[in-house]
Amino acid sequence: MKIAILYVSKHGTTEKVAGSIANKLRETNEVELFSLKENVNPDISRFEMVILGSSVYAGQASKKMKTFCKENEPVLLQKKIGLFICGMHPDKEQQEKELKYAYPEVLQKKAEAIGFMGGEFLFEQMNFFERFIAKKIAKTKSSVHRIDWDAVDDFVKKLQ
């Protein structure tokens, strides 16, 4: 199967998760990765499955991802779909809210897999304001790594 994985990653965590998903799916599929930062509207027409991944900041998914979904909804609805987000909120209820608002409801209903993959605070890649906010919210003074690799594995299993 031909699979496109499109992602938006501010500091690299969502890219890391997208790469891991791609590596796991490459065992039996042809997979291509697309950063919406570098290519805002890749042609997805030749793919049978499209996986979308976005980082979440302050409870909101990337505007680039939201725009891509809106502009490509008719084509996306003809594909098998997987949706994931990367974020740092520890509360399961809040994670569900972030997932709910990250992608259009029509895509969520069609999705074969939806996942919250955890995230990272990468202080060395953050600007002053981002570090300040992360320190206040997470009450930490250094990088934090909380990618949920089990959630990544479960997500991939649902797509196979």
**CA–CA distance, 38 with 142 (Å, rounded to integer):** 29
Closest to 152 (Cα-Cα) out of 119, 117, 112, 121: 117
pLDDT digits (tens, 9 = 90+) for 56-97: 876 678 899 999 999 999 999 999 999 999 987 778 898 888
Instruction: Report pTM.
Output: 0.85
Tokens of 100: 């709910």
The helix, strand and coil proportions of the chain, stated in percent and rounded to the nearest 5, come to: 45, 25, 30
pLDDT digits (tens, 9 = 90+) for 99-112: 888 999 999 999 99
**CA–CA distance, 121 with 130 (Å, rounded to integer):** 9
Q: Which domains does the chain carry? A: 2-159 (3.40.50.360)
E runs forming strands in 94-150: 113-116, 118-121, 144-147
